[in-house]
Structure 1
């Protein structure tokens, strides 16, 4: 009997594996994980793990003993290099080939690289793996200035952690403000907490070169001629989904979604007995009536579980709203839905204690609680409701 094979080393792979065993599957089960580590979660890498407040063991949804106790063949340090859907086989290095009865792809994403002169200098860091985080944490032990290139979620979280570790931090962003997808009004909340904590934010700037006189980064040159002093540079300019296996195997991709893999409501791909989860999956949304490919922790968590149920015979369509969270200094937030539409704020944005709604026409598209907790279930009801929204009621949401 050929095993079920899960390809991936992140949260989605762990949840799929766990779901298969908890769902009653007791047959052969193989997990192919490219990193040498037991599958782990990535959000703490830019926050508590980077600051030394969490251990490696805290990152693992399932420890190594669980895989052994559940008779899961966990192959860490093994890369899936090829997929033949006709032969129901993957090629691995090392290992040769592995047949499968059913296959779950949870290959995640890779970081986008900075393409400027000097980008390969020592002292330039990216943050995707626990190994990346270990190297960056070691670099942050130095007292030299830190420049973060990119003002999205990863860039801002790293900036906050580096500042909390006592570093001098400058963030360089191309847009008019950090976290551009939130809009001006909401982005000002995050801008304010960073500026209050001594982070220097540069907007509307791009990096043209990294400078050095000894093989190690010493400066960051911007498009206006400014040169920032830097001993550590952290690049956070987004990720690209790892869809190479699927693309080479002829599995359908979706244009316009970062080349995500097209799946149906059960997360099944166009290939027989192959499912895709996490960052790589472009999933049909019942609430938004379109495909969504979301690169957040909760999507990995939920799609991994859902794929396991689907593999075991459930025909239930995936119907979980996008969810994400972030912690920066004393600001904590969680959000559901999409940050698209007109902004309505309930509570005090000035005091950084509010719920933000994004409204499109007569419906709530998404909601974000900023230092307001235990309201996301109520917000989800509003997002799912088809009744016309009363903006005055939204403004009183946290009263």
Structure 2
């Protein structure tokens, strides 16, 4: 080994070069030669590994090896041997310059750690990309887990680099960090919270990629497009992107519409307010008129027989409509809407359908339609609601009812 180290130096001295210049030229020649050799070896290994991986990728059905090539894993692995070789050559290159040898060797070892981190990152990214191609993992927060592993890898890498720079053993260096652990926790607070939250979100299946969520606190209303360690990205319906802290999913309240999407229907829950002053009992003439409305003609016939039988059996005085049992225009209108909803082609028949009367308000009596459309798409859903309530508002007058409207000043002036 000594003969190799001094080979160029001896040749220069024999050529009449001074000792100082011979040492400098010896170092430069070895440095340039080593760099050239390292680059040649690196190039050859990269080409060989690329051909090997490409050949394997062509012969296998799995896409994992193709993803490894795309994430440059073979290229990063190819750098290992040249880096190790250069570290071994450093004592030869700088044998006469101890002050330079140690810093350069330390720098190359640190670079070796960075290279290992690149390899780990390429491998983890390949695993992430491959899992995302599998149906069972498409809606899972894979990014969060990969980021956790990368954080651990970078922490170990940074600790190792500092241990090398300071000349301290890795274990001893790590144990000295106990005093600053509180600062580390403070710095990585969001990361730690996000990690815990992502685990809970995954275990409890609270949110998946592709879910429609509404998060009023952050102004989010749209589809989840990404879940990672620190944030959840939601693409709103106006195509804007809202970023939400991952830990907010377990600390705040939000709405996930996945259940609605899985059900195949989308809820319709809307009401019209009827003026209380227009509600009244039906007279015989009213009943004859409403019998002409096809959707409720049979209902009125059956009810008329039932009510008359009851009133006659109890000898009810019907000179006043309030006596005994009676139909009201409001009740008949409710039955009409119920029949109309059940016969509507865009209403999902195997889910809840009802028309109900809500508690009176200062404006009037709300009549609410509660049902589910069989089309969940927003534009179609709104069209279905519009179609239903167009009919509702137009049919109110046929039952001698009025919808409450807040009168404008111009209305009073016209009167």
For the pair shown, the structure with the greater C-alpha radius of gyration is 2
- Give the TM-score normalised by structure 2: 0.21
| Greater fraction strand | 1
Of the two structures, which has the highest relative contact order with CA contacts closer than 8 Å and spacing of 6 or more?
A: 1
| Greater fraction helix | 2
